[in-house]
Structures are given as C-alpha cells and as structure tokens.
Structure 1
Amino acid sequence: MHSRRPETLKIDISKYSGVEEDSPLRWFVELDDATRARRIDDGEMQVAFAQSNLAGRAKTWALGLKLHGTYAFGSLKVFKSRLRQTFEPPRAEFRARTELLKLKQGKRDVHAYAQHIRHLTSCISSNPVDEHTLVSVFMQGLADGPVKTHLFRLELDSLEQAISISEQEDFSLRQARASSTSYRQPRRYDSGIQSRWNSVM
C-alpha cells in the first residue's frame, strides 16, 4: 500500500510592501503559518515563497539585491533578518516592550488577547522578556472572571502553558454557556388544565 502524502493547505498571506504601517514581524507570523501549511521545508523554496509575497518598496529592494549579484539570503532566517534591518522602524522593540508590559485583554476574547501578546513578544528579539515576566503580564492582563481565577490557582512555567490552559478553560466555559442556553424549559399546562377542569366542575 502506498502511504498517503501529507495534506497541504494553500493559505494566502498579505503582501509586505515595506511601508511604515506594515509590521515585518506580523507579516513573518503569517509567512511562517503559510510555509508550514504548505509544507515548504526547503530553505531556498521558503525564501522564494517569501519573495513572491513582497510588493512595492520591499519587492524593489529584493530585486535590486538580485540584479546586483549580492542576493544571498541563504535561508529564510537570513532573509527575515535583512528585511528587518532595512524596513523595521527605529525603536520598534522599545515600543513593543512598552505596549506588552501594559497590555490588557479588554473586550477581546482570550484567543485574540493571546495572539496579541505573542505578536508583541516576537517583536522583542535583542533582549527578550523572561518567561516569568511574560506569564505575570499575561495573567494580570486577563479580564476578571473564571479564566483568570483558574490561572491564579496554578503554578505556570511558561507563557505558552498559560495561554494553552486559559484557552481550554475559556472553551469549556463557552461550551457550558451554549448548552445552558440551548436547553428550553418544557411548557407548563398545569394551571390551564386545572382551570378548565374547574370550569367543567
């Protein structure tokens, strides 16, 4: 029997153009998700896929390097590093760190809050925030409620562990709410039947 080939998903990602509004690190998250889904494992193919999703200034920059013979990214890691050096706004890490330490869940659901804290964490690479601080920031920023209460009863070692447990707890709570709202009380006819019986009597 032939072994089945792993299925691939052709996830589309946004084009990175290198303008100030674009976040290279946010685009890298999209890029990594897409390369994994498409099962692109070869380094050169990963770089080629990344290039195919460039636009504007960023595309011109990459083509310019290629035309001048200095196009030697070698790997996706090198490609990302050079792109960041060229297009990332100054003091981006300082701003990301400041936002991270003040981050609150607010009106977002737990998953959206977790994704935001992951993004900010990925923006801080030269002097990363330690895991203990990340766990503390994540827990303190959660909205008051059952999820936060549950986490504070546990000893957590990493941000990913805290996120995983909080998302599981949030999912369980949502399922419980959905079950309770879908249950309907049976209609009661006792009083009506009794009144009609009394009128007959």
Structure 2
Amino acid sequence: MENPTPLSEVQKVALDNLTASLGPEYVEFLVSQGPEVLNARVKSFMQYEATLLGQVQDQIASAMPTRYVSVPDEEAKPRPFRVEVKNYSCKEGENLILWIREIEMAMRSGLITLDHQQVSLAISKLDGRAREWALTCSTSVDMAFPTWESLKSQLVQVFSPPNQAYRVRSRFLSTRQGKNELSDYVQELRTLMAAMQSDPLPEAVHVTIFMEGLRTGIARTEVFRVPPLRLKRL
C-alpha cells in the first residue's frame, strides 16, 4: 500500500503489524485522515507492542527459578521510610479519603503497626477544627480512639459532607472526558472510585462509565474494539 507520509524503518514495521492486526481498510482510513493522525496511531501502536513485549518478558522472568542469596540479618530487615503527609483541617477543597490513604501509606512505609502509634501519627497530621475535635472527644485519646480503624471511621462519619456517598456516586456516573486529556479523565474516575471505597460500584459499571464518557477519537475506537476488563488497569 502506498504511504504518502514519510516514516522511519521502525515505524514502517509497526505500520505493517498494524495492517496485519486491524486490516488494510482501517489503515487506509488512517492515511486518509492525514499525516498527524497516522503518525499518532502508529506511535500508539508501537507503545502498545512495547507494553506487550514487556509483559511477556516479565512472565518469562517470573517463570525462571529464583536464585536465593544469603543476606545478613541486619540487611534483610526492612527499614522504615518516612513519607510526608499534609495536615487535614476539614477546609473546603480538602479530600478526606485521599488524606486517609496517605496516612495509611505513611504507616506502612514507616513500619508503624501498634495501635497507639498509628492513632498518634494520624492525630499529629490533623489541624484546625479536625484536630480540636480529635483531642476533645473524650477524657483521653486512648479511650476515644483505641485503634486507627475507630479513628478513621469516626473521621469519615463526622467530617464527610452530608449525602457524600450519593454526591460522589452521582458525580461518577455523570463524568465525561470532554476536553480533558485521557490521563486526566482516568485519574478523575479513580479519585471518585477511591471516595466510594466503603460502598463500591461493580467493576462492570466502572468500565461502562469510562467507555461511555470517552470523547470520539482514536482512544474511543480502540477501547470499543477491545474493551478493558478492569478500569484500575488503565
């Protein structure tokens, strides 16, 4: 097939593979859309092939027998790693669910496993009205919050906006890509999914909303050709 757009040798190979996968009619359609569309689709297909190759290499590597090397006890022990977490003060625009995830990430990285240590870390990262509430809930912090799970559940109950679950679910179901980049659109859906963690929607609903919200273009065509099984893998 004659190609009016100058391509490198690597791109020509990718174009041949694309033709074999999707058929010459689809490639002719891309050519008719102009050089920019063709080059963009070829580049996307090359990235797709590279990802598949990486997955195959990972599978081969994981199938190979593991060689164990003796390591001194001191080196084998995990070391705590400090993660910075911004304070939560219940101000407009702050996301309590994401703050909770950051706190839990800091606990894992810092190897903080005891209940009172986890509660102390979380309260130290509260500010303003939220900190005042935590320190005055009872005669002592230990009595009010014996575990991190108890503190977390009460934080969500007290500081989540009214009808939060309904608002988040409604926003998720109405989310569309619009003029946003694909990566920004996916991240917005992921943030809303995180906010629904306590009462999540089925995975099939996640995928359906993602596909229906895509604007017309190459990404939408590709997704509808091979629908993703899970939104979290995108």
Relative to the length of structure 2, the TM-score reads: 0.58
Distance, in Å, in 2 between the alignment partners of 1:143 and 1:6 is 46
Match of 1:62 in 2: 134
Percentage of identical aligned residues: 32
CA shift at 1:28, angstroms? 1.6
| Cα gap change, 1:39 to 1:131, in 2 (>3 Å) | same
Cα displacement (A) at 1:70: 6.9
Q: Give the total of aligned pairs.
A: 162
Q: Pairwise CA RMSD of aligned residues?
A: 2.7
| Unmatched segments (≥5 aa) in structure 1 | 164-201
Q: Distance in 1 between matches of 2:201 and 2:185?
A: 18
Counterpart for residue 103 of structure 1:
175
In the TM superposition, 1:74-113 aligns within 5 A as 74-113=146-185
| Structure number with higher relative contact order (C-alpha < 8 Å, ≥ 6 residues apart) | 1
Runs of 4 or more, structure 1, over 6 Å off, are none
With normalisation by structure 1, the TM-score equals 0.66
Aligned partner of 2:203 in structure 1 is 131
Shift in CA distance, 104/24, structure 1 to aligned 2, threshold 3 Å: same
Contact in 2 for aligned 1:25/1:119 (Cα 8 Å):
no
1:110-144 deviations in whole A, cap 9, x for unaligned?
44333321221232356431111111112222344
Distance change (3 Å), C-alpha of 1:5 and 1:27: same
**Which moves more between the two structures, 9-18 or 65-74?**
65-74
Deviations 1:54-108 (A, max 9, x none): 0011111111125356734233222111011111110111111111111123454
Letter in 2 for 1:85: Q
Gaps spanning 5+ residues in structure 2: where?
1-71
Structure 1 pair 71/16, CA: closer, same or farther in 2 (3 Å)? farther
Question: Conserved in 2, the CA contact under 8 Å of 1:65 and 1:71?
Answer: no
Please say which structure displays the higher CA radius of gyration. 1
